[in-house]
């Protein structure tokens, strides 16, 4: 179970598995947005994706592994990396504007390069934001920090802002190894790739995903993420129909049971990932996108349009192999319960 340093490594590695992906579209740098199909013929289909947040790499590796390891008679569709550009890292995304990848040893290095090559749009004690070519670059995260429509964001409306991974000691995501992608909406709101699923304007990665979903009509959607802690949790979505709700709950129960049995730690009793979540049993959180605002993420959209959906969250502070295995275990368990519904 390997850590993919670059998106091309992921594409090369899956080549030897002799299951060729379908290209759903191309990101701004021309990278293919690749989708693999596996599993059986049975419908409804199962959709698995990961990597919309490039710092959460265990989900990406887990999704790749699941392409041929997930056991099911149902059709499986997997997009293991929803942000190929960000996965390639901060020097890479800088090269899209600079023509070559700079050597970055420290935050000071990146500040110097951004200032030398770009137009400064915003600066405070913790953050420098510039525009170079078609992209915004910042030294740290901007999500959730500004009101929509701030004047300094105007040059970046409809564009992306990249900032580097910076936390030390995260296996799979060293400082600068990944570029976190933010997207400035048409109204000047700073969001990210896991939004825009319900809006006419959306980044190409999201448009590819929702076109695929419209085609396959997934009865179960699993989006593999990671959070900053060292334990496990996941979010479920309230379903439109009673029967769907019953099965959403059954899968939630099943995932928690198998994860606990595998001796993986769940988040503490007092943990709450956000004010827009309602606690279920330990480790289970029900997400209410209306309360959050910002439109629908992939799992919200799946629940709205297609059926059962979950966002799996492993803890970045634990070992990579363990995170991958836990993510895969949660996915296999969800699929096992889902299969009982259609047995
Ligand atoms: Zn995430």
Which run of H or E residues covers position 68? helix 57-69
Using pLDDT thresholds of 50, 70 and 90, give the confidence band for residue 17. Answer: confident
Per-residue pLDDT at 335: 98
**What is the CA(8)–ligand 1 centre distance, in A?**
22
> pLDDT tens across 286-311, in order?
999 999 999 999 999 999 999 999 99
Q: Calculate mean pLDDT across residues 136-160.
A: 96
Enumerate the CATH 3.40.630.10 domain ranges in the chain, comma separated: 7-83+199-341
- Ligand 1 centroid to residue 117 C-alpha, Å: 30
Q: Per the structure block, which two tokens stand in for 310? A: 């979950």
Q: Kindly give the distance from the C-alpha atom of residue 192 to the centroid of ligand 1, in angstroms, as a whole number.
A: 10
Kindly indicate the confidence band of residue 14, based on its pLDDT and cuts at 50, 70 and 90.
Answer: confident
pLDDT in tens, 89-122: 999 999 999 999 999 989 899 999 999 999 999 9
**Model pLDDT for residues 178-207, shown as the tens digit of each residue:** 999 999 999 999 999 999 999 999 999 999
- Measured between alpha carbons, how far is 111 from 123 in angstroms, rounded to an integer? 11
Burial per residue of 259-272, b for 16 or more beta-carbon CB atoms within 10 angstroms, e otherwise: beeeebebbeeebe
Query: What is the topology classification, in CATH, of domain 7-83+199-341?
Result: Aminopeptidase (3.40.630)
Task: Flag whether pLDDT at 13 surpasses 90.
Answer: no
Separation of CA 57 and ligand 1 centre (Å): 10
- Predicted pLDDT of residue 259: 98
Contact criterion met (CB below 8 Å) for 331 and 222 = yes
The sign of the dihedral angle between the CA atoms of 112, 114, 118, 121 is: negative
């Amino acid at each position: 179970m390997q850590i993919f340093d670059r998106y091309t490594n992921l594409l090369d590695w899956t080549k030897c598995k002799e299951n060729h992906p379908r290209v759903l579209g191309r990101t701004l740098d021309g990278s293919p947005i690749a989708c693999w199909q596996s599993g059986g013929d049975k419908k409804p289909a199962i959709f698995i994706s990961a990597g919309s947040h490039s710092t959460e790499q265990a989900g990406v590796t887990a999704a790749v592994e699941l392409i041929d390891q997930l056991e099911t008679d149902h059709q499986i569709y997997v997009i293991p990396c929803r942000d190929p550009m960000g996965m390639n890292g901060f020097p890479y995304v800088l090269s899209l504007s600079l023509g070559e990848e700079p050597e970055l040893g420290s935050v000071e290095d990146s500040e110097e390069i951004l200032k030398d090559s770009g137009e400064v749009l915003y600066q405070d004690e913790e953050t420098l934001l510039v525009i170079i070519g078609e992209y915004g670059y910042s030294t740290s995260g901007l999500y959730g920090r500004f009101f929509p429509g701030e004047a300094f964001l105007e040059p970046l409306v409809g564009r992306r802002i990249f900032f580097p991974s910076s936390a030390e000691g995260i296996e799979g995501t060293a400082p600068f190894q990944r570029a976190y992608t933010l997207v400035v909406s048409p109204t000047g709101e700073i969001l990210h790739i896991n939004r825009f699923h319900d809006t006419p304007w959306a980044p190409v990665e999201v448009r590819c995903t929702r076109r695929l979903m419209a085609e396959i009509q997934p009865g179960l959607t699993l989006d593999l993420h990671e959070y900053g802690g060292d334990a496990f949790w996941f979010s479920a979505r309230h379903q439109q129909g009673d029967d769907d709700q019953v099965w959403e709950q059954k899968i939630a129960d099943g995932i928690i049971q198998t994860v606990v049995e595998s001796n993986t730690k769940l988040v503490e009793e007092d943990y709450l990932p956000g004010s827009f979540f309602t606690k279920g049993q330990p480790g289970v959180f029900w997400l209410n996108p209306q309360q959050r605002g910002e439109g629908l993420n992939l799992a919200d959209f799946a629940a709205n349009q297609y059926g059962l959906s979950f966002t799996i969250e492993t803890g970045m502070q634990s070992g990579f192999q363990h995170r991958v295995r836990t993510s895969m275990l949660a996915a296999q368990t969800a699929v096992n319960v889902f299969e009982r519904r259609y047995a």
